[in-house]
């Protein structure tokens, strides 16, 4: 596969944060200058059409969103956990395995009709990414594409986003969770 070089830079830590989980640690890729540059270049190349904003989901998504926004000549929009942004915000709730969480963005961060590319480091069940799409669309954005460094396809998040009308790209996939 074309991205096996990047996959080899991602460390797997077994049984973290709990038994049975295979944690995909991207810090090893971030430490590799050539790997990081290749990752950004490939994500930029996968972008379809012009975008006005690249939205990154807290926190690792921020790293990729900012780097991808520059060559796309787009702004960078931060999607954060509720209560972390200093201005007026809009928010969206989403379900967790046990309970709920909430993400937010500045109410004035996105003009109606803005074309937004959603970015995060990993998609698993898709709960946060789907909430981000709902939040952006609530603000009037056009969200038709999302990109991730890693997809865990067995958990169904990318398929759920596709069902929401979002084209999904990822550079690498890992089986299991």
120-160 pLDDT per residue, tens: 999 999 999 999 999 999 999 999 999 999 999 999 999 99
Which pTM value belongs to this model?
Answer: 0.96
How far apart are the C-alpha atoms of 102 and 84, rounded to whole Å? 11
Catalytic residue among 41, 42, 58, 97: 97
The answer to whether 97 is a known catalytic residue is yes
Q: Which of 82, 133, 139 is nearest to 108 (CA)?
A: 139
The answer to whether 137 is a known catalytic residue is no
Catalytic residue among 60, 115, 134, 137: 60
Domains detected in the chain = 47-171 (3.40.50.2020)
Contact 157, 127 (CB under 8 A): yes
Q: Please write the tens of the pLDDT for every residue from 54-110.
A: 999 999 999 999 999 999 999 999 999 999 999 999 999 998 777 899 999 999 999
């Amino acid at each position: 596969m074309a991205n096996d070089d990047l996959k080899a830079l991602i460390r797997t830590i077994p049984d973290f944060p709990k038994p049975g989980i295979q944690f995909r640690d991207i810090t090893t890729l971030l430490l590799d200058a050539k790997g990081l540059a290749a990752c950004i270049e490939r994500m930029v190349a996968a972008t379809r059409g012009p975008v006005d904003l690249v939205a990154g989901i807290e926190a690792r998504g921020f790293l990729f969103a900012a780097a991808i926004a520059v060559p796309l000549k787009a702004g960078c929009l931060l999607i954060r956990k509720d209560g972390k942004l200093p201005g007026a915000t809009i928010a969206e709730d989403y379900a967790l395995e046990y309970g709920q969480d909430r993400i937010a963005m500045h109410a004035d961060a996105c003009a109606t009709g803005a074309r937004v590319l959603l970015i995060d480091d990993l998609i698993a069940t898709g709960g946060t990414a789907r909430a981000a799409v709902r939040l952006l669309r609530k603000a009037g954005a056009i969200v038709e594409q999302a990109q991730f460094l890693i997809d865990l396809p067995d958990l169904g998040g990318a398929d759920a986003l596709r069902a929401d009308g979002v084209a999904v790209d990822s550079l690498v996939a890992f089986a299991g969770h």
